[in-house]
Each structure stands twice: as C-alpha cells, then as structure tokens.
Amino acid sequence: MSNNFNFSEKTTELKKKTVEKGKQGLFNVVYGRTVAVVLILLFQIGLLLWGYQILEEYLIYAYGIVAFLTVCLVIFIINKRENPAFMLAWIVPMLVIPVFGTLLYLFCAIQPDGKILRRRLEEMDWENRNLSQQKPAVMLRLKEDNMSQANLARYLGKMGFPTYQNTSAKYFPSGEAKFEEMKIQLRKAKSFIFLEYFIVNQGYMWESILAILEQKVKEGVEVRFMYDGMCSMTRLPYHYPEEMERRGIHCKMFSPVRPVLSTVQNNRDHRKILVIDGQVAFTGGVNLADEYINQKERFGHWKDTAIMLEGEAVRSFTLMFLKMWNADKRIVQENFARYVTVPIEHTPEQGDGYVTPYSDMPLDEEILGEQVYVDILFSAQRYVHIMTPYLILDYETLHALTYAAKRGVEVIIIMPHIPDKKYAFILAKTYYEELLEAGVQIYEYTPGFVHAKVFVSDDCKAVVGTINLDYRSFYLHFECAAMLYRNKEIPNIEKDFQETLKRCRKVMPGDVRKEGLLNIIAGRVLRLFAPLM
C-alpha cells in the first residue's frame, strides 16, 4: 500500500514540477529569443519593401526590362515539373504586382539552402543504397497475392523504401495508449534509442520520457534526440540541445529558426519517429507534448493515433532517422550498417502480411505521400475511411476522392469539430460542397480535435503516419508513414474508425450553405493561397 502511495505522490510531484518548468520556459522563450528573431525578420521585410519603393521611382526606366523578365519567368514556371496550383500562386502576384512579385520569385528561386540539403540527402541515399534493397522473394509473393499492390510496392522500392514481411504491427487509437507503450519499450532498451519529433514541449509527457532516457544513458545506452527547430520559437529554449548534451543525450535541432529570410525555413521536419535497438519503431501523429495524451486540454478532446512495428521493417525507420540526423554534415563518416543491420530478435508469422515504411521530402519532384493516398483511392473496391485534421486539397487528391465516391466506393472522412487553426478549417469547408455532391461523406468529431492521419481500405490496406491531407504535408514538409497490407492489425484500425464515427456528426449539404457570408468569402480568397498553407 505504501509503495502505491509513494508512486502516486511522486507522479503528482512530477506533474507540478513540469507545469512550473513549462510556465518558466514559455516566459523565457516568448520574451527572449523569439521576440528578437521576429523583430529582425520584420526589419528585413521592411528593407525589402523600402528597396521596392526606391525602385518604383525608376520604374518608368526599368519597366520594359522587368516586363520582359516577368514574361520569361512565367514561361519558365509553366514549364516546370510542378503542381499547377503552385504555378498559379506565383504567376498571379507576378502579373498583378510585376516588379515586387517578380523579384520575390527570384529571391525564393535562388535560395541555395534547399539545394544543398537535397544534394546531401541524395548522396546519403546513394552511399547507403545497399541497406534499402528490396528482397526479390517478398516481391514475388506480393505479385502472386495482388499485382496492383505489388506495383505500388515497386514504386516505393524505387524511391528507396522496400516492402517487408516478418514484421508485426500494433495500432494505438489514442496518444495515451502510445505513451504507455513507449515507456514500456524505452525501459527495455539495451543498445540505442533514436527519437525524431516535430513538437516537443516541457510537461508531464516529455519529463516522464526524459527521466527514462537519462536512466538509459547511465546504463550505457546511446540516446539521440532530434526535434524540429520551430520548437525554439515558442516551446523550448534555443540552447536546449546543449542542456540535453550535459545530460548525456545527443541532441540536434533540425533547421533552427534563424533571423534570416530563407525559403528553406518553410520546410519543417514533421516526422515522428522512435526507434529502439533496431527492433521496435513507432510513428503516427502523436508528438511529445501534454495535449497529445489529453493531460492538457486544447481544442476539446484530442483524438490521435500511432503504430508500433516490430521486426524487419524497423530497418527503414532506422535508416530514415540516420539520414536526417546526418543531413547537416558535409562528409558522412558514420557507419549506418551497424544500426540498420542488427539481428532481428522478433520474427512474426508469415500471416502478418506486408509492411512498407516510407518517408517523403519537399526538395524533390516526387510527391510520394500523396501518391500512396491516391493509389489507395483509385484501387479501392468497397471503402476508403480517412481521419485527417486538415483538408486542403490539390486537384489530384480532390479528383481521386470524388472519382472513388462516384464509382460506388464508400469514402468517409472524419474531420475535427473544434479546429486548432480557424483559417485552415474555413478553407477546408470550401471543399465540402464538391465532395458531398460526389458522394463523399464527411463527419466532424464532436468531442474536439482530430489529429490522426489514417487511411484504411477494404479490410486489407492501411496507412498510419504523419501525412495530412494538405499542401504542407504533400509539398513542404518532411513526412513519414507505414503502409500495411493484409496485416493482422488492419481490422483494429477499422474498428477504431467505426468507434470514432459514433462520436461524430454528419455534415449535410445544407450545413455548408449555413456558413456565414464572411467565412464563405474568406474561404474562397484563401483558396488562392492554399499551396502555402
């Protein structure tokens, strides 16, 4: 009895401590570096506008040159291998505000940072290509099972993401469930722990995990922790990596936010990856912050999902992490093989089907995350059930959704009822009418906010990962996911969808027309800037 009491007392003390730390950290962040960064960026924007005004005085002399340059750039943009929506988002300001729009495009187009990062990642792909080879026997079995799925697997394989057997999956219908399993698996770590997350916030969840990581460091386990640099703006102190290093945890910020105007700062690391000893891997929508486990309420009840893989497919997630960890180095000296090719301790039954982990980056021409979703929609026979927090669609995805519904496939999308970003919700509703007319069913999760990114289809396919149905996930962020085919866990994913559906309200055609005139106008205007949102 006394042991239980002491544990409860310690938990309460940890919660109080983390809340106090969170408040203090927020104060330091908000009134420290963040304000300085914002002010410096605003100053640079002011300089650009001032330069534009000066240039306007000589516009009569330079207009012919600028007009010719604008025409050349418009022709160049139209011929690029790019989504037409992005072309339109650039061409409109270039034609409406010729000088400013043209100079802004040139400024963004000549940014070197993205090209350097892309070259670095491609070099690592080439250097480690032997670690991501598709096993011919697996592909042969998949071809005999389903040629359409084998074709998708072949495409992903060409991108460096092989399909595996000998892998089991465990699905988590909430952040709370994932959190509990994370702690169990972290305590089992013997060799290494890799964490890569988009959001990390000081609080009960992170402090609980951090306590385990510190203990593991003392036991001789190698711990690496990487988080997106946007956290330094509002969630973590800028020098937090140094603090982690003092605790024995190797730590990096991906693309720290710096007071320099650069388009590469728009390419965030939205992935959520945890790899333990090369045996177990987690991904999904759940970040390391208290709202994701409903320890803190934001936007009502927070509905999220995650998945844990155990077996050979973990190797792909290990490789994904190592490439991103080394992306800021010019010369790779690290031996990836010592982490990727560790002997697999757990060998599931053959009946566990196929698993394909994959990632997507914004620096190449492949919209891999969107391609997988579209392939599921085009190949579905009975149903496609989707959970997503955002619905900002390009033509290809919108067409795939409506076409699937028109040919008789049951397409259901679960959206939040309480959004985290009102502008994104207003924009999402501009797609409702067209989707509903085609037969797509839309539901809103009445208890609060849906942050899950889930596709499940025909009781045989499912995707759980970090990829939203919006432009940012498809074109601007680094993302990852796991695709399951004929895996034993797929019925549990569909079961969770049906349970979630019971707590939703169905959106009717009349509901769309009840939106206020201001929201309707705002939504239509926002459609023009959808590729940037």
Q: What is the pLDDT of residue 87?
A: 75
Q: What is the pLDDT of residue 349?
A: 63
Q: What is the pLDDT of residue 56?
A: 61
The whole-angstrom separation of Cα 235 and Cα 26 is 6
The whole-angstrom separation of Cα 11 and Cα 27 is 24
* Tens digit of each residue's pLDDT (9 = 90 or more) over 283-338: 999 999 999 999 999 999 999 999 999 999 999 999 999 999 998 876 667 899 99
Mean pLDDT, the chain, integer: 86
Mean pLDDT check: name the lowest of 106-115, 120-129, 283-292, 448-457: 106-115
Average pLDDT over residues 25-45: 61
Q: What is the pLDDT of residue 103?
A: 74
Quick one: the chain helix, strand, coil %, rounded to 5?
Answer: 55, 20, 30
Residue 15 has pLDDT above 90, yes or no: no
Residues 6+ away with beta carbon under 8 Å from 348: 166, 167, 168, 310, 311
Q: Between 148 and 28, where is the model more confident? A: 148
Residue 17 has pLDDT above 60, yes or no: no
The residues facing 457 across adjacent strands are 384, 461
Q: Where are the domains of the chain?
A: 33-110, 368-532
With a pLDDT cut of 90, the percent of the chain lying above it is 59
368-532: CATH number: 3.30.870.10
Q: What is the pLDDT of residue 518?
A: 80
Q: What is the pLDDT of residue 9?
A: 47
Q: What is the pLDDT of residue 163?
A: 97
Q: What is the pLDDT of residue 29?
A: 45
pTM for this model (two decimals)? 0.85
Residue 430 has pLDDT above 80, yes or no: yes
Q: What is the pLDDT of residue 267?
A: 86
Edge-first strand listing for the sheet containing 461-465: 354-360, 479-485, 461-465, 454-457, 383-387, 410-416, 441-445, 504-506
DSSP E strands, 301-401: 301-303, 306-311, 354-360, 383-387
Residue with tokens 């250097």, as numbered in its chain: 127
* Tens digit of each residue's pLDDT (9 = 90 or more) over 389-428: 999 999 999 999 999 999 999 999 999 999 988 888 888 9
